[in-house]
């Protein structure tokens, strides 16, 4: 059976656009429930400036409460060297901490400057240093190229630029490169093309895909990525998400919808759909509103039992 690894990003990318700050114990419970549903790789915090993203200000507290499971890989998002240093610090004194430094380099100057105060060139230089720092400290050095399919300010992003960035990241020791459609404008044909090029440009590096469903194409893009050889897909519970610095960006692809598609396609993810739907119901109560996931609304469908 084919397999896909899901990286659950609901507790980080999913929450960071929420106006109201979610309490640390609720975040801890969200992570714990997701692990019990079968998630084995999960974004738990973003080491950003708490003044800019108050939702992520309790990152260290969330990490301190994580279950010490050897079968789970925790990801801390790092936008600069300072972020990597916080990721490293999370492991000091024998603490569990995070396992991976999820570095981020942006594929457009305008978005990069707004999101993390860096041009593309500055972002590449910073990430080269961040990946080295992470590796030396024993963290898994991986990187996401954001706005890889389009920029909210500049429009189209040349594929050549994305591939050049990817080459630089591979040379700097990234063990995995994600291409992220931060603003939800990617379409399957573009996904196939860009991952095809990435596979050629960085053959030894694992590929990951990160899609938002802003214009309804997120699940289609996930399948196109799968068909292009990608075996690691980001998704967020219920389709939570957005980006505080990308206008109109809406939710990530929903983990429920992705798992439904994979299950029915004979692709194993190890994540249990019914458990996800139950978590969705609980977390919708925490937030006080329904989440965008379609499957959670419609119900899973085994294809065996009668529905009504």
Q: Does 257 bind a second copy (CB under 8 A)?
A: yes
Our finding on whether 30 is near a second copy (CB under 8 A) is no
Query: Are the C-beta atoms of 113 and 119 separated by less than 8 Å?
Result: yes
Burial class from Cβ neighbours inside 10 Å (0-12, 13-18, 19+) for residue 304 reads: exposed
Footprint (CB under 8 A) of a second copy, residues 176-215: 183-185, 187-190, 213-215
Number of H helices, E strands in the chain: 11, 10
Query: Which tokens go with 308?
Result: 């009504």
Query: Distance (Å, rounded) from C-alpha 205 to C-alpha 237?
Result: 27
Under the criterion CB under 8 A, does residue 37 sit at the interface with a second copy? no
Q: Considering only residues 266-295, where is the footprint of a second copy by CB under 8 A?
A: 266-267, 293-295
**Among 152, 238, 241, 244, contact with a second copy (rule: CB under 8 A):** 152
Sole binder of a second copy in the list 261, 271, 279, 291 (CB under 8 A): 261
Q: How far is the CB of 156 from a second copy (least distance, A)?
A: 5
Give the residue from 49, 6, 83, 109 showing the smallest Cα distance to 244.
49
How far apart, in whole angstroms, are the C-alpha atoms of residue 78 and residue 59? 12
107 counts as binding a second copy under rule CB under 8 A: no
CA distances to 94, 170, 268 from 8, in Å: 25, 23, 15
Task: Tell me how long the chain is.
Answer: 308
Give residues with Cβ within 8 angstroms of 71, minimum separation 6: 40
* 151 is annotated as an active-site residue: no
CB of 297 to a second copy, least distance (A): 8
Among positions 210-239, residues that touch a second copy (CB under 8 A) are 213-217, 219-220, 222-224
13: nearest Cα among 71, 72, 69, 53? 53
With CB under 8 A as the contact rule, which of the stretches 9-17, 93-101, 121-129, 150-158 interacts with a second copy? 150-158
Between residues 141 and 251, which has the closer beta carbon with respect to a second copy? Answer: 251
Q: Are strands 41-46 and 267-268 parallel, antiparallel or unpaired?
A: unpaired
Q: Which of 21, 61, 121, 156 binds a second copy (CB under 8 A)?
A: 156
Interface residue with a second copy, options 248, 268, 281, 285 (CB under 8 A): 248
Which residue out of 78, 103, 151, 243 is catalytically annotated?
A: 243
**Which residues are the active-site residues?**
243
Residues that bind a second copy (CB under 8 A): 150, 152-156, 183-185, 187-190, 213-217, 219-220, 222-224, 247-248, 250, 254, 257, 260-261, 264-267, 293-295, 297-299, 301-308
């Amino acid at each position: 059976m084919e397999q896909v690894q899901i990286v659950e990003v609901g507790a980080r990318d999913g929450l960071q656009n929420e106006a109201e700050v979610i309490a640390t114990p609720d975040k801890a419970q969200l992570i714990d429930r997701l692990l019990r549903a079968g998630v084995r790789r999960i974004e738990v915090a973003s080491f950003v400036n708490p003044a800019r993203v108050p939702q992520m200000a309790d990152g260290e507290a969330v990490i301190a409460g994580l279950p010490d499971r050897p079968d789970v890989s925790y990801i801390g998002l790092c936008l600069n060297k300072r972020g990597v240093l916080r990721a490293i610090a999370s492991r000091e004194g024998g603490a569990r901490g995070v396992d991976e430094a999820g570095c981020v380099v942006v594929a457009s100057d305008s978005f990069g400057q707004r999101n993390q105060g860096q041009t593309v060139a500055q972002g590449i230089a910073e990430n080269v240093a961040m990946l080295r720092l992470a590796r030396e400290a024993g963290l898994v050095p991986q990187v996401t190229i954001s706005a890889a399919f389009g920029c909210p300010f500049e429009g189209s992003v040349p594929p050549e630029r994305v591939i050049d960035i990817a080459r630089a990241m591979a040379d700097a020791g990234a063990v995995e490169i994600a291409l992220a459609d931060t603003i939800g404008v990617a379409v399957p044909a573009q996904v196939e093309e860009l991952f095809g090029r990435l596979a050629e440009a960085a053959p030894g590096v694992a590929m990951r895909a990160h899609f938002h469903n802003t214009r309804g194409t997120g699940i289609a893009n996930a399948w196109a990525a799968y068909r292009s050889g990608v075996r690691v897909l980001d998704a967020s519970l219920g389709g939570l998400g957005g980006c505080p610095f990308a206008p109109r960006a809406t939710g990530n692809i929903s983990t429920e919808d992705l798992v439904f598609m994979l299950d029915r396609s004979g692709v194993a993810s190890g994540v249990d759909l019914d458990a996800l739907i139950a978590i969705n119901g609980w977390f919708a109560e925490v937030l006080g509103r329904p989440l965008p996931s379609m499957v959670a609304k419609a119900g899973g469908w085994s294809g065996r039992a009668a529905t009504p």
